[in-house]
Structure 1
């Protein structure tokens, strides 16, 4: 098994009057970060985990949270952990 980092971005829509509660739920979810919110109850969130199953568990937990209207996965990326510490050479693309 290869050690990997799974990164998923999500848009979560919650009832606006439940947003303060939902904000705390996200902060308690392992690997979750809030990147943006609006007054209508929309959240931009990323989840990071070592397996796709752990990502799906996090999505399921969000879907089952009282006040959540919907959870939409926007993007998923998987990266081998060993590549995260590899320096990337800069390439000048100006011509």
Structure 2
């Protein structure tokens, strides 16, 4: 069976006074990317793991960080690692924007 790649998008709300601590935590995790962040403590994260329970683990670990008010899954996709490495192209064959 080909190796799986699980991509998830999470929405995290952290108290603004605790946001630097969470950003430091995220910087130490190469499989979690901060896609967007607001001064009010709202973050959009992208998580990539090899197993589906890895996404659940990330949710639980993030929810347990100091100052995190809420952490929710907003998107999850499973693909083979080979599919995940392909370049997406538009209808004309050019790379998608």
What TM-score do the two structures reach when normalised by structure 1?
A: 0.85
Q: CA deviation at 1:52?
A: 0.6
List aligned pairs for 1:1-95, cutoff 5 A. 1-86=1-86, 91-92=91-92
Equivalent pairs, count = 92
1:6 is displaced (CA, Å) by: 0.3
- Return the alpha-carbon distance in structure 2 between the equivalents of residues 88 and 45 of structure 1: 21
Question: Greater CA radius of gyration, 1 or 2?
Answer: 1
State how far apart, in whole Å, the 2-side matches of 1:88 and 1:40 are: 33
CA contact (8 A) 2:59 2:71 kept: yes
What RMSD in Å do the two structures reach over aligned CA positions? 1.8
CA contact (8 A) 1:29 1:58 kept: no
Pick which of 78-87 and 36-45 moved more.
Answer: 78-87
Q: Which runs of at least 4 in structure 1 moved beyond 3 Å after TM superposition?
A: 84-90
Q: Secondary structure at the match of 1:53?
A: helix
